A and B are shown apart, each in its own frame.
Chain A
Amino acid sequence: MSDKMGKDIKIREEINEKIKEKITNGKFPEEIKEFLNKMLLIEFDHIDEIKPRVKEEYESHIKKYAKKWKGE
């Protein structure tokens, strides 16, 4: 994980500690950790919207992380 990406994916302090801890210490691939953190932040930004428009952000991140995915 690059430093730049590290800064990008740092979960903001408002996200529940328990979720942060599960993701940070979970025994699963780094790209999934990064992806989960990213997506949670997106969800957090749209927390009070009933139908948030997040399709494009999801698509681009899925594509980005699936490229690196070796776990098929």
Chain B
Amino acid sequence: MIIDYIKLKNYRQYRDQTVNLGAGEKGKNIVIIEGRNGAGKTNILNAITWCLYGQEFHISKSEGLPIVNTSALNDLGVNEKTTVEVEIQLISNDKNKRYKIKRTVWIQKSEKDDAEQISDRYLSNQSDGTKLEVFVQIGKDIKGEFRDPAHIVQRLLPEKINEYFLFDGERLDNYFKEESGGIIKEAVFKISQLDLLDRMIDHLNKTKDEFLRSSEGLTPEIKELEEKKTALLDSLEKMKNELGKQSNAKKEAKEHRNEIDKKLRESPRNIKKLAEEREGLEQDLLKLESELEEERKNRSDYLIEMSPLILTHEAINQSWRIISKQEEAGKIPPPIAKNFLERLLEKGVCICGTDISKKNEYRKNVELFLQSCKDIGNISGEIIELCGYLRGLIDESSDFRKKQIMYGKRVEDLEEREKKNNERLKRIEEEIKGCDVKEIKRLEEKLEEYNNEISNVDQKIGEIKVKIDNMKDERLVQIDRDLNKELKKEEKFQELRRILSFCNSVLDIANKIKTEIMGEIREEIEEKTKKQFFDIIWKKVTYKEVKIDDNYNFLVLDQTGRKALGTLSAGERESLALSFMAALNTVSGFDVPIVIDTPLARIDTEERQDIARSLPEYFKDTQVVILVTGAEYTPAVRKSLSKNVCKEYKIKFEEYKKGSEAKVVSYEK
């Protein structure tokens, strides 16, 4: 099935636009729509989801602009009305069936110049106040005015799995990140319509039990078994309800999470880490500043302390040398012995024989001489002491250089750290310039909360499922066996037995078909994903294996057998995601067109070309509408896709005084 065209009237940037996407010649299955960020690419995707389901899944709820084109709104007078319309035509591959789907909403300009949606009960047929119309043309017969047009849309393109054919390229690798296994399994289940089998099994079981319950003449034993079974089925029903509640809680948490995720993707990556690093650096800088101040003070204190010594260094050195020399020469202390003079005075005879026993001039001279000796001795002692002190000062001044270097080094180290921190801080500031870091941090924390919530709900869901399986597998099977035994005891239950036996046989077969298809699809998806992935990645030797387990969890192994999913580059992850999406769509047998928004945005230049070369191969025989920016759609990418491109458009965005308008024009224009 392909999208033949999309008509947009007064929808967001588009005032009046028809985009023909219809197929070209065989093999040309790709449509390119190129536009700058904000020009209106994603709103093509939103227009499709709004037309089909009445919801714009790829728009942030916080984005304030109204659904009506601002220029169209500004053209209105107060209380004047206009409509917003999106129409899509789908054509089956054999071109025998056409489905025209159109959604309309009525808008009125308020006195405050705002756009207000009007619900016209005569015109709208949907609970959200919009009108949905579906026209089906099979051959030459046209049928319209369906009682429940939404039902026709759901049958064609089920909303629950819309993200598997209308997807945001920047979210492709999320399929491997989040609790993807369960989601993918559920999607495969739905895409393959195995849920039809599941519902049939459920209804068949209920009807079968009703046959038994309403039969007349049941024996007490049968009644008892039947009551047991009813009680067990009631418990099962309660658990299924709980399962539904938990699934809804999960869906809600996922919606919040995706909303936050989208906002965060518009901000620099790891902003929380960057902000934390910035905070750490700022604290470190404060600490460094005070350490540096202290070290600088220590250095200057030391210089001040040492300056007299340094200034008098030469004098000290010289003094020490003189004293040391005198000391070495034995002149200090003086060689005259004080005791010898004292003994002479005691004996009263000088060494020259002169009598000095009495107080005479000679004795007086010797006494004076003794006094001088005493003073010289004391002075010598002081000089020797001074010499030791000078030696200490000299030693200390010889450490001055070492200590000066040491203080200098400390200051330099701290200054270097300060410089590096300041440089890093500057880089971080540039990276997060213009971002509301506080808000982003809050969002990241919220994101983590939702992730935890999803993981907790997943655990609960898993537990409930195990309980349900146990009840079904063990207790119910045993009750059924016992019932059959009892029914066989009496002839009158022959018809009932036949009905139950028929139901049981159908149930066995339906369950078997379901299990077989699920297994086959998984194996085929694994094989095709692996083949396509290895066909396009250039590191073919690095990776050895791609596996998908029963719960659709991915495993990529490198040559040494180690898990390598986490080490794949953005391009490799996207290659894996695209390989998987293509495999999913071809294997599950669900024939839908695919619309991808910005598939190459996060990919390196070289990998872009690899992916561009492989895209037509991925989605052979499937219409693929690719919404790209000019940066993605490089000449090399364009050349790689050229063989398979049937239509190529550009979005021209113009702003007027009255509003803005986007136009989808041929690429050449």
Which residues on A are within 8 Å of B, measured CB to CB?
14-19, 22-23, 26, 28-29, 31-32, 35-36, 39-40, 42-44, 47-48, 52, 54-55, 58-59, 62-63, 65-67, 69, 71-72
Contact = CB atoms under 8 A, between A and B. Distances in A.
Contacts of B206: 55
B198 to A, nearest CB: 9
A72 B498 contact: yes
Given A16-B192, A16-B588, A32 B505 contact: yes
B446 interface: no
A28 B505 CA distance: 10
B151 interface: yes
Interface of B: 150-151, 154-155, 158, 192-194, 196-197, 199-200, 203-204, 206-208, 210-211, 495, 497-499, 501-503, 505-506, 509-510, 513, 516-517, 520-521, 588-590
Contacts of A17: 589
A52 B29 CA distance: 38
Nearest to A14: B155
For the complex of A and B, 8 pairs with smallest distance between CB atoms: A48-B154, A66-B502, A58-B207, A69-B502, A72-B501, A16-B193, A66-B499, A43-B196
B192 A54 contact: no
Nearest to A12: B155
A26, A39, A66 interface centre (most CB from chain B within 10 Å): A66
B104 to A, nearest CB: 21
Nearest to A27: B509
Nearest to B96: A13
A31 B509 CA distance: 12
A69 B498 contact: yes
B207 A39 contact: no
B196 A62 contact: no
Contact of B155 (A19, A22, A44, A66): A44
A40 B207 contact: no
A32 B210 contact: no
Given A39-B204, A47-B196, A48-B155, A62 B503 contact: yes
22 contacts: A18-B520, A19-B192, A19-B197, A26-B509, A28-B505, A28-B509, A32-B502, A32-B509, A39-B203, A40-B196, A43-B196, A43-B199, A43-B200, A47-B151, A48-B151, A48-B154, A66-B502, A66-B503, A67-B498, A71-B501, A71-B502, A72-B502
B509 A36 contact: yes
Given A17-B589, A26-B509, A63 B517 contact: no
Nearest to A15: B193
A26 B590 CA distance: 21
B413 to A, nearest CB: 70
Contact of B210 (A23, A26, A59, A69): A59
B509, B516, B588 interface centre (most CB from chain A within 10 Å): B509
A5 to B, nearest CB: 17
B149 to A, nearest CB: 11
A62 B203 CA distance: 11
B401 to A, nearest CB: 88
A17 B151 CA distance: 21
A24 B562 CA distance: 43
Contacts of A48: 150-151, 154-155, 158
A71 B505 contact: yes
Contacts of A39: 200, 203-204
Contacts of A71: 501-502, 505
Contacts of A35: 502, 506
Contacts of A19: 192-194, 196-197, 513, 517
A48 B155 CA distance: 8
A19 B151 CA distance: 22
Contact of A18 (B150, B208, B589): B589
B204 A58 contact: yes
A47 B154 contact: yes
A22 B497 contact: no
Contact of A36 (B154, B208, B211, B510): B510
Contact of A47 (B155, B513, B516): B155
A16 to B, nearest CB: 4
Contacts of B208: 62
Nearest to B207: A58
A18 B516 CA distance: 10
A40 B201 CA distance: 10
Nearest to A35: B506
A27 to B, nearest CB: 10
A53 to B, nearest CB: 10
Contacts of A43: 196, 199-200, 203
A19 B517 CA distance: 8
A72 to B, nearest CB: 4
A54 B210 CA distance: 13
Contacts of B158: 47-48
Nearest to B198: A43
A58 B499 contact: no
A19 B199 CA distance: 14
